[in-house]
Amino acid sequence: MKFVTMRKKSVFKMALAIVFAAAVIAGVSITGAATVWSGRSPKRIAIYSVDTPLQVVALTFNVHNTNSAITRTAINDIIPVYEEGDFINDELPENGEKDETKTASCCNGITHALSQLENHNIEATFFVSGLWAKQFAPTLNSIVSSNRAEIGNFSSTHPERFHRLNAHQLEAEIRTANTTINNLARVTPKVFRAPNGLYSDRVLETANAEGLVSVQGDIHIANDGVMNNEQIVLKVLNSVQNGSIIMIDITDCCVEFEALPLIIMGLQRRGFSFVRVSDLVLRENYTLDRAGRQFRA
């Protein structure tokens, strides 16, 4: 009888544990934290890659020339929403001289990228800031007129700590960038990327309210000169998967631009095709796992 009694107690405890776990899971799902339990996220992170049976990738470029005459004065001219003491880009001077060498290299890097898209008959996405678009409108229009690339929203002034902006500043950053790009190139971005990949619930909600899909990437080629061409190519080829989103910083002319044709040819030899990122991502009826990989619901 003692054995039976112990078993009944064990069963009772197990039943209580199951009920409790079910209640917790339900509560977590309702509060938007289901990732902890199910491995899926209720759209509270950006898209880093897309689950697809197709052997396709999206090649994307981050465009914001931090070495030109980007000053607090210039930023306030385009988006006057920052008050004294809360400016995010603390390292920027009030005024400054434009470094023509750096600004030229930025445009040269884009010209080189566009030529590679044409040479290899592929498409890509350029995420540009509104401030850059205003400074380099002819280059922006050359991207659009190439018919090889789409324009994505990279914020208006590229604040260093984008996720710490308040609701008013976030709305102004994203909306003003869209307006600037549309006024200059007559195109409206469909996708958004946060500066430095800094997202928050508020960032994602604001971008979504502006009709933009927030996209990051699962392969990042940084503009730091640390890796040589061979290392860059190997990094991409060893990491790529169906639906990968490749990010390349293009703020200055650096080694990754020399590696670009090698990356493209290496992926093509493996059977990959290139699509615009807005054509790769799903806009509705999807889930995201904790790595930001998008799955059709």
Tell me, yes or no, whether 7 and 125 share the same domain.
no
pLDDT at 170 over 70: yes
Cα separation values, 221 from 42, 122, 139, 167, Å: 28, 19, 22, 30
pLDDT tens per residue across span 113-128 = 999 999 999 999 999 9
Residue 201 or residue 21, greater confidence: 201
Amino acid type, 67: N
Residue 226 has what pLDDT? 83
Q: Beta strands 191-192 and 213-214: pairing type?
A: parallel
pTM of the model: 0.78
Q: Specify the pLDDT at position 105.
A: 52
Is 234 among the domain residues?
Answer: yes
Question: How far apart, in whole angstroms, are the C-alpha atoms of residue 170 and residue 154?
Answer: 12
Whether pLDDT at 288 is above 60: yes
In a domain, 147, yes or no: yes
Tell me, what's the pLDDT at 192?
98
Residue 186 has pLDDT above 50, yes or no: yes
- Mind listing the pLDDT tens digit for each residue in 15-62? 555 545 554 444 333 323 223 223 455 548 999 999 999 999 999 999
According to DSSP, the residues that pair with 55 across neighbouring strands are none
* 16 and 98 together in one domain: no
Task: Write out the residue range of the structural domain in which residue 168 sits.
Answer: 49-296
CA pair distance 94, 88, nearest whole angstrom = 13
Report the CATH number at residue 170: 3.20.20.370
Separation of alpha carbons 50 and 31, rounded Å: 25
List % helix, strand, coil for the chain (3-state, nearest 5): 45, 15, 35
Q: Do 149 and 244 fall into the same domain?
A: yes
